[in-house]
Chains A and B, each alone.
Chain A
Amino acid sequence: MLAMNYRGPFRVRADRNKPYPEILHPGDAIVQVTRSCICGSDLHLYHGLVPDTRVGMTFGHEFTGIVVETGSAVQKLKVGDHVLVPFNIACGMCPFCKQELYGNCHESNPEATAVGGIFGYSHTAGGYDGGQAEYVRVPYADVSPTVIPQGMDLDDAVLLTDVVPTGYQAAEMGGIKKGDTVVVFGAGPIGIMAARCSWLFGAARVIVIDQLDYRLEFAKNYAKCEVYNFRSIGDPVLFLKKQTDYFGADVCIDAVGCEAAGSAMNTLTGRKTLLQAGSTTALFWAINSVKKGGIVSIVGVYGPTWNFVPIGNVVNKGITIRANQASVKRLLPRLIDHVMSGRLNPKEIITHRIPLEEVSDAYHIFSAKRDNCIKPILIPSSAKAA
């Protein structure tokens, strides 16, 4: 079958000889992919920043598809169901799943205890192939995969597998109160969605910081927020303090993670030489820009080793830091309602629709920020009719 094939940093190809996936566990299903996305997090893998990303893997943790085969223990899903598949692989039975921490499942990732299983996200997240393929194995198929509601656009559905829940949870973890000023670092798809969702919690002012004008322009139009290019405002921390009567923002959201620009030292040690687990510039700015007693919410992906984080300021300012992978299953009912009622319109962030066969170009366009790319989706030719 056709699938994306990772060959090393900055090298991927469309491979027609990838073996068709098999049912390996009674709770498995095989899904024929109808849509898959490239996520900003995939770029961390693509750039070689996530350890234990092995050659031959297929990426892709955001996808929809049609169930074509089920394991003996699968009861809720049936062949022919068109499902959206949350990026977390969750067993539904371990203590963490029972507490709705689906991103922290204890029975889906043997290789690390700090993170649950994730489709197509290196062996550090369980060693599963992802959805940038014609077919994919979906473990624990009765737990997270959700039948796409009738009338929902497939493009909206695929964004409910990660982008919307992660952006929403970023805002939720910020504990936003009515009247709050929220600063979002990063105008990628997640940052844009976090800004959009901040209004749902009653924010009075939402500010997005990034370095690319086209992304800021998009964020401003889609999320109806204020935008600033950190290349043109001087010290972002000082600028944000002045913008907030020298108090600081009530809530700061780090939607960037390990590939943040803006600090030569962090770029050198975090992105070029991997001496720390990614650049912490966005987190540094978030901690220093939030008010005393404020909340910093982190959904940006960082590597697992050490980082330069200004922890002293966290202590002295009494900041609450909240972070996690989104628990997609927990959030889906509410988010489906928001999409179906028109309060959220995720498909508007899709800027590129690219055949799976051209996955190498798709990754490059997204990675190099060519053609004003915000969010690309991949469509296998075998799924065009769906």
Chain B
Amino acid sequence: MENVANVDVQKRTDETYKDIPGWGIDADPENEPTYPMKHYTGDDHQRLHYERPPLQPVDVEVLHSNERPNVTAAFGTVSPPSGLSGMLRRYAFQHSEGSSLHWLPLIMADRINAIEGIVDDLAHGHIPNVFAERGWNAEWKYNRKGLITKIAVTTLVATTVIALLSTKKKKKKRFSF
């Protein structure tokens, strides 16, 4: 970018703010770093002794942080843990939020879950259209050359790898009696 174009902006801001709607309207001389982001009430000293909202029935498996004694009054019920990824997630929730044993298994579980998703699709007779799911229709429209290059390079690499592997297999066969 032509950074020199900024000269006009700087000149303007040095002279006047009149063309900036609302300039300084929310200026608050009390807005020091200690400005109350929260409206302090001392309520947090009540700890768990506050009136809780009604509790949502727990009719699906809900994993909850071991840094709290219970599930929250409301929670989401999307995609309860299942399969191998679910086992990893259950393991993760045995560890506190400050532990790598909490987060790293969750990241691994996410990757496994993506594969489980493909298996699940196939099991239900749905062949996932990975080209469309990755938004490559848009890539074809806005970056056709880049997409073709990417596909060509991927094909080349894959072909090379397959060729190398099959060559090794042939060599192995030759010496095995």
Asked if A129 contacts B76 (CB within 8 A), the reply is yes
Which residues of A57-93 are within 8 A (CB) of B? 57-58, 73, 89, 91-93
Chain B residues with CB under 8 A of A200: 22-26
Which residues of B69-85 are within 8 A (CB) of A? 70-79, 85
Given contacts A56-B117, A305-B103, A363-B135, contact A48 B97 (CB under 8 A): no
Number of B residues whose C-beta is below 8 Å from A? 90
Which of the residues B25, B54, B104, B135 comes within 8 Å of A27, measured between beta carbons?
Answer: B54
Which of B70, B75, B92, B97 has the most chain A CB within a 10 Å cutoff?
B75
Given contacts A205-B10, A364-B139, contact A175 B35 (CB under 8 A): yes
Asked if B135 contacts A364 (CB within 8 A), the reply is yes
Asked if A304 contacts B103 (CB within 8 A), the reply is yes
Asked if A128 contacts B27 (CB within 8 A), the reply is no
Asked if A370 contacts B43 (CB within 8 A), the reply is no
Given contacts A27-B53, A226-B10, A365-B142, contact A51 B107 (CB under 8 A): yes
Asked if B44 contacts A96 (CB within 8 A), the reply is yes
Chain B residues with CB under 8 A of A124: 106
Chain A residues with CB under 8 A of B17: 199
Is A252 interfacial (CB 8 A cutoff)?
A: no
Which partner residue on chain A sits nearest B117 by CB separation? A55
Given contacts A56-B117, A57-B79, A216-B1, contact A360 B135 (CB under 8 A): yes
Contact-size category for A: 35 or more
A 321-358 binary contact with B (CB < 8 Å = 1; else 0): 01010010010001000100111100000000000000
Given contacts A100-B39, A304-B97, contact A56 B133 (CB under 8 A): no
Q: How near does chain A come to B87, taking the closest CB pair, in angstroms?
A: 14
Q: Is the interface of B mostly helix, strand, loop or mixed?
A: loop
Q: Is the interface of A mostly helix, strand, loop or mixed?
A: loop
Chain A residues with CB under 8 A of B57: 24
Which of A12, A101, A114, A175 has the most chain B CB within a 10 Å cutoff?
A175
Residues on B lying within 8 angstroms of A by beta carbon are 1, 3, 5-6, 9-10, 12-13, 17, 19-29, 31-33, 35, 37-41, 43-46, 50-54, 56-57, 62-65, 67-68, 70-79, 85, 89, 92-93, 97, 100, 103-104, 106-107, 109-111, 113-118, 120-121, 128-130, 132-139, 142-143
- Can you identify 25 A-B contacts, CB atoms within 8 angstroms? A7-B114, A8-B110, A8-B111, A52-B110, A53-B110, A54-B113, A57-B78, A91-B74, A93-B53, A99-B38, A107-B72, A117-B74, A126-B72, A128-B76, A128-B78, A201-B27, A201-B31, A274-B107, A305-B104, A324-B37, A327-B37, A338-B22, A343-B21, A343-B25, A360-B133
Q: What would 4 more interface pairs be, CB under 8 Å, given A55-B117, A91-B53?
A: A200-B22, A201-B27, A368-B143, A370-B139
Residues on A lying within 8 angstroms of B by beta carbon are 7-13, 24-28, 48, 51-58, 73, 89, 91-96, 98-101, 106-114, 117, 123-124, 126-129, 139-140, 172-173, 175-178, 199-202, 204-206, 213, 216-217, 220, 224-229, 232-233, 274, 277, 295, 303-306, 320, 322, 324, 327, 330, 334, 338, 341-344, 360-365, 367-368, 370-371
